[in-house]
Amino acid sequence: CGMSELWSSDAVAHAPRSPGGVPAADADAERARLLAAEREARARAERLQEATAAIVRARTVPEVARAVALEGARALGAAEALIAVVADGGATIEVMACVGLDDAEAAAWRRFPNEGALPIPTVVRDQAPLVLPSPEALADAYPALAPALVARGVRASLTYPLALDPEGEGGGGARAMGAMHFNLPVARAPDVGEVAFLLSLGRLAAQALDRARLLDAEHAARETAERARAEAEAARAEAEAANRAK
């Protein structure tokens, strides 16, 4: 062997080592990797806590949906976000909040059939995430939709279900009551931490939207009852006045 090989072998043999026998440079690299992973995990937990706080503060369905859209887009660096729920007995997708779209685009996507080759109906039907990490993936999956997306700067999209478990935590039978859709300005797939964040956000958002729906229904029922009571009292007063006038 040559002198360079002898030099390399000698350098490795005499390289500083940690107490466990691992070269110090390798130990330092591993320590740096673990610290970076720890920082990312801490940042992800903080993002989820912030999202949770924003969603808990929301009371109505539109407020919850907008909080999910804003917090999800901020965490992912998304340029556009749509939060949609199933309506009309499953026949329709209704977008409850959108971020980053102009008024015309937002109006065009406010309600549409829960069918066909579109990301949100696909995710609701399959109850599984849909990741399209590049313009090519977008074009392959949705050739009719992709040109408009790419033209306005979309380079990847992430669509995750709003997963609601009707039998309670861990009870099984989860169903997708809607979906979160994020359009990214760069071509990429989510990393492991982002996948965990999106799955947690989807469950949290579904629970908050379901709660807000119940509150909205209770509020509407209360208003209807109060209106009926007021009308009955007005009718009774009118009848009493008519009787007195006889």
pLDDT tens digits, one per residue of 103-138:
999 999 999 999 988 999 999 999 999 999 999 999
pLDDT computed for residue 69 by the predictor: 95
pLDDT computed for residue 100 by the predictor: 95
pLDDT tens digits, one per residue of 139-182:
999 999 999 999 999 999 999 999 877 554 444 556 789 999 99
Q: Is the pLDDT of residue 5 over 60?
A: no
Q: 36-50, 53-67, 181-195 — which one is most confidently predicted on average?
A: 181-195
Q: Locate tokens 């009852």: which residue?
A: 225
CA angle, 39 as apex, 36 and 45 as ends, to 5°?
140
Q: Which of 165, 181, 158 is nearest to 65 (CA)?
A: 181
Amino acid symbol at 84: A
Cβ atoms of residues 123 and 182 within 8 Å: no
